[in-house]
Structure 1
Amino acid sequence: MDEHAIEVSGLTKTFGGKFGRGEPHRALGGVDLQVKRGTVHALLGPNGAGKTTTVRVISTLLKPDEGTVTVLGTDALADPAKVRRSIGVSGQYAAVDGNLTGWENLRMVARLYGLKRKAAGARADELINDFRLSDARDRPSRTYSGGMRRRLDLAGSLIARPGVVILDEPTTGLDPRGRREMWALIENLVSTGTSVLLTTQYLEEADALADIITVIDKGVVVAKGTAAELKAASQSTLLTVEVSQGYDRDRLISVLTEYGSGEPYSHAHSMAWHVPVAHGNASAAVIIQALSETGVTVSDFTVDAPTLDDVFLNLTSTTPDKNEERAA
């Protein structure tokens, strides 16, 4: 048996151009990806990086221009129907019928998979219990909370007991408790031998769940490894300086840019600025001195090992936090 549940090689895809509308846009420029059996593999990247295009190709919803895709030993381009029978897909928006109860939704999906009426009902019963929806099984799913609807959608993707589950931003829009519940369900999936390909905008989610992380940007893979390996490979640590009210922003950014090893950034409404530095405390001392000489008062500072957010920022030149202020 092949050790990989999913193997992708040389995947390319261009939209538009000569036979389409608008200028050609290269969504994928030769993506390689291997997902080991029984693991969680996270696919990370900024908006427009090619994550969704990659997932659509793997799940047979889109044909690539070039490249190969193998899922559980089956060529996805030669036999897409077989691949579709062996995978489950759950997107960031729960695909459930709000007029049906939770149990009816699952039974309907089971019937669509070809299960007989009795077997479909039994499978719906099993998943309702597994996903802690028993108390709401007979309520219309439109009355469910966001977390409940997401659990129901994930349960539906498991009707046929797939060997591979593709989760496209499964916790988007959930509160912290709902996200933790979804994490527990994903961990349970993997414990039963299911292979999971996960895309997410929450980097701490990848840090917590993923055995391997692939970072994609502008249609190409820019890094791959465990979270620990990606952090260790980072060439810099992170300096955080907290400045006093009324500071000169331009002077601050000028110093951080000159002596740092990456682009400075700050969270919205925060007096703290962050910048990667190449030489830890030695770089911090130089920056603090330079800020003092330019009249910027630093009230506190820290030097920390890089987080996965920092690694992501350095690799993609894009911050994952929409509420961050960039130096530019």
Structure 2
Amino acid sequence: MSLDATVWAWKTRQKQKVGGALKPLKKLVLLSLADRAGETHECYPSIARLVDDTEMDRKTVLKIIDELIEDGFIIDTGKREGKTKQVKVYLLIGVKGRETVPTKVHFDTENDDLNSTNNGTVPTTEQFQQFHERVPTIPLNSPNVGTRNLSKNLSEESKNKKTWLSLKKLREEILLATDQETYEQIKNATWFDRELRAFELYNAEKNLCDELMNYHFADWLINACGKYQAREQSKKTNSGTQVRVPQGESNTLSSKQIYSFAQKLSVHPEFASKYAEGNESYEQLAARVAVKLADPEQQQKLMPYLIQVGFQQKGKGEAA
């Protein structure tokens, strides 16, 4: 974070264009960029981060960035950063350094050229570039004078950079893929940390950006939820609870059969078109179907499709 850049952003006066973004919104985006600028006044927050900061939609943020470039406040350096090397690096134009000062160089008073205008203390451009020192902004009466890079001086965002996991983003992804009830089950699950460790190990060498990690972890957790639910149902079945079909016909599915028929139904065109939700994958659909097949009532509802994929109802002494 650059104090110079933030002060500069506050002092800017935005231009209002016909059909353009409102001036307060433009300043808000510029402040968000300045907040993430380094010593060179370059910054590269992702669009998702700017959307989260400003609470604007993606389209508006992109439009404002274009206007800030047109107005001469920022430029696209052409550099790209981030894990995927796709995040644009912007340079803030017009930031005046306040935290750097020149170091004065005293010339030798015995210099032969005593009448020279260079005699004395004159900080030149070269001297400014060669001899400069960071001036701490800690108050003089603070017990932390001389202490830099303290963890408590870091912003919350800087502290959280150690992990890719965003619970807010994860919740959004899960609710986009499934219902509130499933989300609550995942949130309160005792196996959450176990699956998190497994997921991180599985993706350790894939070099995915944070957004994709949260996206794939949401799918991972939804599948895990179905897995654990099916396992619990299997325990009940093994302890004496059987899946039965009304009308006098007894049909019991083993845990292996549940998984097998769930996979078959997930790729059944008619079934998938009717029961798949949104952009749900075959694996996600199969996980949900497995839970349904462990429920006697749900199994009965799905019986027409089960028969189509090879399930045989028990007849007189016949096994399914």
- TM-score tier, shorter chain, comes to under 0.3
Structure richer in helix, relative to its length: 2
TM-score computed with the length of structure 2 as normaliser: 0.25
TM-score computed with the length of structure 1 as normaliser: 0.25
Structure richer in strand, relative to its length: 1
Higher relative contact order (Cα pairs below 8 Å, separated by 6+ residues): 1
Task: From the CA coordinates, give the structure whose radius of gyration is larger.
Answer: 2
